[in-house]
Amino acid sequence: MIHVSATPVEPASWQNLLASSITDPGELLRRLDLDPSLIDAANAASREFALRVPEPYLARMTPGDPNDPLLRQVLPVGEELHEQPGFVLDPLGEQHANALPGVIHKYHGRLLLIVSGGCAINCRYCFRRHFPYEENNPGTAQWREALDYIRRDPSIREVIFSGGDPLAVNDRRLAWLTQEVASIPHVRRLRVHSRLPVVIPQRVTSSLIDALCNTRLPVTMVLHCNHANEIDQELAQAIQRMRLAGMTLLNQAVLLHGVNHKLDQLIDLSEALGDQGVIPYYLHVLDQVRGAQHFNVDDATARHLVGRMLTRLPGFLVPRLVREVAGAAAKVPFHVDLVSE
């Protein structure tokens, strides 16, 4: 008998997973065995803001469930096309703080670099769904202007890689930009805001960790996870790789009707993050961006929910409830309502 050894199957690279993301609403509905009657609204809304869902994120959804909390974050729906007073294109006034291409400087002591306009996933509540990324896609020469802007301002102690998603660019580009930032003496910290490790955990490679961690700067990775179902074994392993590299791991979530607006959902999320050594950092009330009004949870409910979380969880697992206000000097915290069980 001749024994034939099977050729090992190479795991898909993060680049291939990113490139093969689902962008057709019909395909998404078919893959999840959902009602075809949803297609017209999904197609109409996706013409305004494109659908993008990577395969590793799709795999965590429950087929046949139109109310799956992960699906609700990404499925285009007809409500997005209904205009509502107060929901605007630029709810945070970022275009007024867009100091240079790729630079958003809103707060004292820190600024954002828009490292990439691309995302691995298009969240339907995204406050930057109307952001002019085409005007914020710097080449090398413009990046040098942005770096010079930081050099000229000694008050800038922290640089934040943002997007889009900053981890959508390749590791060589990230390494160059990290090293350039680290060469500025008054910069003391690097922060990275990314959803990519959540939706494609394969993005957390040794090359990525080298690109971010091989300078003098301490690195904080701020993940964006809204529901405990987003935390699977692959993400848990990616988180542990980042922790072993010395990164500080935080999470910021958005309070979303139909996704995490119930007490048990928020508690499960905080517990699941804590199990992985990730500190819940912020819980944002919804930024009032046009197209996302159906996700809104009123302020009184938000305060009540976080107040009840304080009675059920240790303080370090209760995120700060905040709102970002255009022109404010910092994020605005809420006073929450302590509610006894």
Whole-prediction pTM? 0.93
Classify 116 as helix, strand or coil.
strand
- Sign of the Cα torsion 139, 142, 144, 147 reads negative
Widest Cα–Cα separation across the chain: 76
192-238, pLDDT tens digit by residue?
A: 999 999 999 999 999 999 999 999 999 999 999 999 999 999 999 99
Residue 230 contacts by C-beta under 8 Å, 6 or more apart in sequence? Answer: 57, 60, 70, 198
Task: Please compute the mean of the pLDDT values over residues 230-247 and round it to a whole number.
Answer: 98
Q: Is the pLDDT of residue 1 over 50?
A: no
pLDDT of residue 8: 43
What is the C-alpha to C-alpha distance for residues 138 and 144, in angstroms, rounded to an integer? 9
Task: Please compute the mean of the pLDDT values over residues 13-25 and round it to a whole number.
Answer: 97
Residue 47 contacts by C-beta under 8 Å, 6 or more apart in sequence? Answer: none
Percent of the chain with pLDDT over 70: 96
What is the C-alpha to C-alpha distance for residues 114 and 137, in angstroms, rounded to an integer? 8
pLDDT of residue 128: 86
Q: Is the pLDDT of residue 4 over 70?
A: no
List the structure tokens of 20. Answer: 């093969």
Amino acid identity for residue 136 in this structure: N
Cα separation values, 75 from 24, 185, 202, 219, 252, Å? 11, 45, 23, 33, 21
Instruction: Give the burial class of 202: count Cβ atoms within 10 A of its Cβ; 0-12 exposed, 13-18 middle, 19 or more buried.
Output: buried
Task: Report the candidate in 165, 129, 124 with the shortest Cα–Cα distance to residue 257.
Answer: 124
Q: Is the pLDDT of residue 278 over 60?
A: yes
Q: What is the mean pLDDT of the chain?
A: 93
Q: Is the pLDDT of residue 95 over 90?
A: no
Compute the C-alpha angle 123/317/158, nearest 5°: 65
User: 164: cis peptide before it, omega within 30°?
Assistant: yes
The DSSP annotation for 16-77 comes to HHHHT-B--HHHHHHHTT--GGGHHHHHHHHHHS---B-HHHHTTS-TT-TT-HHHHHH---
Task: Please compute the mean of the pLDDT values over residues 63-70 and round it to a whole number.
Answer: 98
Q: Is the pLDDT of residue 2 over 50?
A: no
Q: Which domains does the chain have, with CATH numbers?
A: 14-81 (no CATH), 94-333 (3.20.20.70)
pLDDT of residue 133: 75
pLDDT of residue 115: 94
Q: Is the pLDDT of residue 7 over 50?
A: no
Percent of the chain with pLDDT over 90: 81
Compute the C-alpha angle 10/193/105, nearest 5°: 145
Instruction: Kindly report the length of the chain.
Output: 341
Task: Please compute the mean of the pLDDT values over residues 247-276 and round it to a whole number.
Answer: 98
pLDDT of residue 105: 96
pLDDT of residue 10: 54
List the structure tokens of 190. Answer: 């690097």
- The residue ranking higher by pLDDT, 88 or 76, is 76
- The residue ranking higher by pLDDT, 167 or 338, is 167
pLDDT of residue 130: 84
144-190, pLDDT tens digit by residue?
A: 999 999 999 999 999 999 989 999 999 999 999 999 999 999 999 99
Q: Are 230 and 279 in contact (CB under 8 A)?
A: no
Could you tell me where the DSSP H helices lie in the chain?
Answer: 14-19, 25-31, 39-48, 55-58, 69-74, 140-151, 171-182, 196-199, 206-213, 233-244, 263-275, 299-312
pLDDT of residue 187: 98
284-330, pLDDT tens digit by residue?
A: 999 999 999 999 999 999 999 999 999 999 999 999 999 999 889 89
